[in-house]
Amino acid sequence: MSYLLFQLSFFAYFLATAAYIVFFITRKGEVRRIARMIFFVAAGLHTINIIARYVEAGHTPITSIHETVSFFAWSISWCYLSFRWRYTVKNFGTFASIMVLMLMLAASLASREIMPLPPAMQSWLLPVHASIAIVADAFLALAAIGGGMYLLQERELKQKRFGFFYTRLPSLEALDKLNQHCISIGFPLMTLGMITGYIWAKQIWGGRDWHWDPKIIWSMITWFLYAGLMHQRFTLGWRGRRAALVTIIAFCAVLLTLWFQLKGVHTYGA
């Protein structure tokens, strides 16, 4: 049942992305309304899918590649929707929907097998730590999308072409504010996720040499990258291109951290 719901949400995300791309090209308001509606339906179906998976697995479904990537896509969807209700950033939905669709494709290619959790992993800290960390990554993903859009728009302005992207992308100021807003939410959540992860690791492994787990190492590297960016933004006034570039580089570190989800001590289902 859960996989049928996953397939339905995947298909709905595909339709929403296609509609957003059509709107990006044609700029017809009716197409944008349809895209938003379909995307909202897809996110709703995805929510039901995660609940169904929870019922089938008997634990929070964030313990395998399929579940983690799917939950990451779901988090980006709802973080985008929550952002969309408060701010208006032109054509942001097009780029966000593309990223969500790519993640759903990756999740669909991974094994859907439900693995029982070892006793040590059956803790209330699993849903707390994992969900906070992934929601943090979702906001940082939105910041990276904004950074990419910033670089595209800046390129148009520097070359003075004022062509295809110029008329379809927000102003540089709006994109810079988007970047700052998303990181201001994502970084504290990342910090909280690392704190809960440390507490949980101490409970499970105690004095064992778990500090050299690849995911933990990359988590620390990622945290320092965003900490440096936050420091430069709020103390030295970093804005614009530099902030956009560092945001994209830091998000690459986030993706590497997720890649190591099934490495070392973070192989929950093994």
Angle of the 2-26 helix axis to the 65-86 helix axis, nearest 10: 40
In a domain, residue 117? The reply is no
In a domain, residue 183? The reply is yes
**pLDDT interval class at 15 (50, 70, 90):** very high
Residue-wise pLDDT for 204-254, tens only, equals 766 555 556 677 777 888 899 999 888 887 777 777 888 899 999 999 989
State the chain's mean pLDDT as an integer: 85
Average pLDDT of the segment spanning 30-42: 95
In terms of domains, do 138 and 92 share one?
A: no
In a domain, residue 217? The reply is yes
Average pLDDT of the segment spanning 192-206: 80
**pLDDT interval class at 200 (50, 70, 90):** confident
Q: Is the pLDDT of residue 145 over 90?
A: yes
Average pLDDT of the segment spanning 99-108: 95
In terms of domains, do 197 and 257 share one?
A: yes
Q: Assess contact for 93 and 20: CB atoms under 8 A.
A: yes
Predicted pLDDT of residue 270 = 41
In terms of domains, do 144 and 246 share one?
A: yes
Q: Half-sphere exposure of 108 toward its Cβ, with a 13 Å CA cutoff?
A: 17
In terms of domains, do 149 and 82 share one?
A: no
Return d(Cα 139, Cα 213) in angstroms, integer: 24
Q: Is the pLDDT of residue 109 over 50?
A: yes
In a domain, residue 214? The reply is yes
In terms of domains, do 103 and 138 share one?
A: no
Return d(Cα 105, Cα 35) in angstroms, integer: 19
- As a dihedral over the C-alpha atoms of residue 87, residue 224, residue 229, residue 155, rounded to 10 degrees, the angle is -90
In terms of domains, do 216 and 250 share one?
A: yes
Q: Which amino acid makes up residue 196?
A: T
- Cα–Cα–Cα angle for 86, 235, 152, rounded to 5 degrees: 55
Q: Is the pLDDT of residue 144 over 80?
A: yes
In terms of domains, do 93 and 144 share one?
A: no
In terms of domains, do 139 and 98 share one?
A: no
From 81, 110, 139, the end of a domain falls on 110
Predicted pLDDT of residue 207 = 55
- Provide long-range contacts, Cβ within 8 A and 24+ apart, for 190-194: 190/133, 190/136, 190/137, 190/140, 190/222, 190/223, 190/226, 191/223, 192/132, 192/136, 193/129, 193/132, 193/133, 193/136, 194/133, 194/219, 194/220, 194/223
Q: Which amino acid makes up residue 153?
A: Q
Residue-wise pLDDT for 46-55, tens only, equals 999 999 999 9
Lowest mean pLDDT, pick from 165-174, 185-194, 228-237 = 228-237
In terms of domains, do 42 and 166 share one?
A: no
In a domain, residue 119? The reply is no
From 58, 81, 110, the end of a domain falls on 110
Lowest mean pLDDT, pick from 47-51, 83-87, 109-113 = 83-87
In a domain, residue 120? The reply is no
**pLDDT interval class at 86 (50, 70, 90):** confident
Q: Which domain holds residue 32?
A: 1-110
Average pLDDT of the segment spanning 21-26: 94
From 52, 81, 110, the end of a domain falls on 110
Rounded alpha-carbon distances, angstroms, from residue 221 to 202, 224, 267? 20, 5, 20
More confident residue, 85 or 261: 85
In a domain, residue 121? The reply is no
Lowest mean pLDDT, pick from 13-27, 65-79, 120-134 = 120-134
In terms of domains, do 15 and 49 share one?
A: yes
In terms of domains, do 265 and 146 share one?
A: yes
Predicted pLDDT of residue 260 = 65
Q: Assess contact for 244 and 198: CB atoms under 8 A.
A: no
Return d(Cα 178, Cα 197) in angstroms, integer: 28
Q: Of 265, 164, 268, which Cα lies nearest the Cα of 211?
A: 265
Predicted pLDDT of residue 243 = 87
Share of the chain above pLDDT 70, in %: 89
Number of domains in the chain: 2
Angle of the 65-86 helix axis to the 240-259 helix axis, nearest 10: 150
Q: Assess contact for 144 and 175: CB atoms under 8 A.
A: no
In a domain, residue 115? The reply is no
More confident residue, 263 or 129: 129
Q: Is the pLDDT of residue 104 over 90?
A: yes
Predicted pLDDT of residue 111 = 84
Burial class of residue 235 in the structure, from the number of CB atoms within 10 Å of its CB (0-12 exposed, 13-18 middle, 19+ buried): exposed
In terms of domains, do 149 and 60 share one?
A: no
Predicted pLDDT of residue 219 = 82
Predicted pLDDT of residue 264 = 44
